[in-house]
Amino acid sequence: MKKYGVLFAAAMGLALSAGSALADSTIKMVEVITSPPRTEFLKKQIAEFETANPGIKVELVSLPWGQAFEKFLTMVQAGDTPDIVEMPERWLGLYGTNGQLEDLTPYMAKWGDAATLGDRAKQFGSVVDGKQYMLPYGYYLRAMFWNKKLFKEAGLDHAPTTLDEFMDANKKISAIPGKYGYCMRGGPGGFNGVQMFMNIANGKGGYFNEDGTSTINEEGSVKGLQMLADIYKEGYAPKDSVSWGFNEIVTGFYSGTCAMLDQDPDALIGIAEKMKAEDFAVAPMPAGPSGKSYPTLGYAGWSMFASSKVKDDAWKLMSTLLSPANNIGWAKEVGVLPIHNSAADDPHFKTEQFKGWFEELNNPDKFEFVTPPVHLENLGNFYDQVSVKNVQEVLLGQRTAKDIADEWAAFLTKEQQDWMAKNKK
């Protein structure tokens, strides 16, 4: 009997063990702003989380950024929703207004690390219905990279401080055989830069007037779009830049093909690896006729789907990734400005290379940040599909800047006024 008792106990032990294995939690996580080094860093952070939480496994799905909007939308429409998704700000309206995202407010109320969280993280993550549908992991702020060697060769000694100086630098640098002034982003992800130059030329930040009409087809805005078309037409940007995305413009800069690049801190990672620190610098964005500049401030973060069956574990992963130590590590790796106030004391962000961004941050009289109207449900498709095709049409001379700006204004005005009517108090 003792033998059978031992066997029975062993069998029960195996059954309980199997039951525990079946009860283990699996978190499905989707990242969309991908690159091999970035994905490997995220996998490293996930592995550390799994080690600290042996009952939880993370299934990471990495979508290529160029096709991420369509691929993720297809996943969701097919019912293949993840527990956690990397949420670009411009997708927030699409998924938040449809009730597909979990409000993170109750989770954050019990989160000890919320004490050092900057106000912008709470503000930007709750722009849809006033609910915290996303918690940013960092901010993408535009500033101007400039190649000191090419500027010197062209007889220039400083980065452009105005749009007139920007165009003059383009012309003089492009006169050097095989060199171009500007790394044009005519392909995926280019609209932020286009809209920024339209704002600067118009002397007005943002997208809308108080009545909801769009400012994107005002006279100054059209001039800004035409300026970019002229840069391309005059040969101040490489011919194939009409289809360039992020990787191509960064390569164009560090290879010395073109001398100026407006980008976020994420571009600094690849550039600093390929160029000597003394050969380039980062300056604030040039000012327009109003004397002010309007750099775009974008952001991305982590969101939880309301359909998740493992919400507590999903939040445990999110809060771990967003802890001050992990967030600073992430910010350094992917090139964003961190979300915790304590990051300001980190030596990494006090270097000369961050000077342009912090000059913008510290001079509100000269620099007014513009964030995308992420509350609009159809903004993601407009940014990632429609605008790419339209910008290319303008650069190639197939349509006029005024025609495209009017089309954009009609779309944005309807979206904004519909939203205003729906949310009228």
pLDDT tens by residue, 30-62: 999 998 989 999 999 999 999 999 999 999 999
Percent of the chain beyond pLDDT 70?
Answer: 94
Q: What is the mean pLDDT of residues 346-361?
A: 82
State the burial class of residue 74 (Cβ atoms within 10 Å of its Cβ: 0-12, 13-18, 19+): exposed
One DSSP character per residue, 122-171 reads HHHHT-STTS---EEEEEEE-EEEEEHHHHHHTT--S--SBHHHHHHHHH
pTM: predicted TM-score of the whole model, two decimal places: 0.75
288 and 390 belong to one structural domain: yes
pLDDT digits (tens, 9 = 90+) for 354-365: 888 888 877 889
81 in a structural domain = yes
Q: How far apart, in whole angstroms, are the C-alpha atoms of residue 412 and residue 195?
A: 13
Percentage of the chain modeled with pLDDT above 90: 75
Best-predicted range by mean pLDDT (11-15, 117-121, 124-128, 196-200)? 196-200
Residues 6+ positions from 95 with CB-CB distance below 8 Å: 76, 87, 101, 133, 303
**pLDDT score, position 66:** 82
Same domain, 255 and 219: yes
Specify the 3-state DSSP secondary structure of 307.
coil
Judge if 41 and 134 occupy the same domain: yes
Residue 5 clears pLDDT 50, i.e. is over it: no
Whether 84 contacts 303, CB under 8 Å: yes
Q: Has residue 221 been placed in a domain?
A: yes
Average pLDDT of span 94-99: 89
Same domain, 194 and 282: yes
Are 385 and 287 within one domain? yes
Amino acid code (one letter) for 307: S
* Residues 256 and 396 grouped into a single domain: yes
- The residues, ordered by sequence, that sit 6+ positions from 26 with a Cβ below 8 Å of its Cβ are 56, 57, 58, 59, 310
Tokens for 20, please give them: 């525990």
Number of domains in the chain: 2
Using pLDDT thresholds of 50, 70 and 90, give the confidence band for residue 127.
Answer: confident
Q: What is the pLDDT of residues 79-94, one digit of tens each?
A: 999 999 999 998 999 9
- Does 393 lie in the same domain as 310? no
The verdict on residue 388 lying in a domain is yes
Is 20 contained in some domain? Answer: no
- Give the end of a domain, one of 313, 334, 350: 350
Q: How many CA atoms lie within 13 A of 13 on its CB side?
A: 6
Q: Within a domain: residue 5?
A: no
What's the confidence (pLDDT) of residue 2? Answer: 39
Q: Are residues 95 and 176 in the same domain?
A: no
Q: What is the pLDDT of residue 375?
A: 87
Position 23 pLDDT exceeds 50 = no
- In a shared domain, residues 268 and 152: yes
pLDDT band for position 280 (cuts 50, 70, 90)? very high
**Start-to-end C-alpha separation, the chain:** 77
Task: Find all residues with CB under 8 Å of 269, minimum gap 6, and list them.
Answer: 37, 333, 334, 335
Task: Decide if 158 is inside a domain.
Answer: yes
192, 45: one domain: no
Query: Chain-wide mean pLDDT for the chain?
Result: 91
For residue 276, the enclosing domain spans 143-294+376-422
When pLDDT is cut at 50, 70 and 90, the band that residue 7 belongs to is very low
Quick check: is 194 in a domain? Answer: yes
Looking up residue 305, the CATH number of its domain turns out to be 3.40.190.10
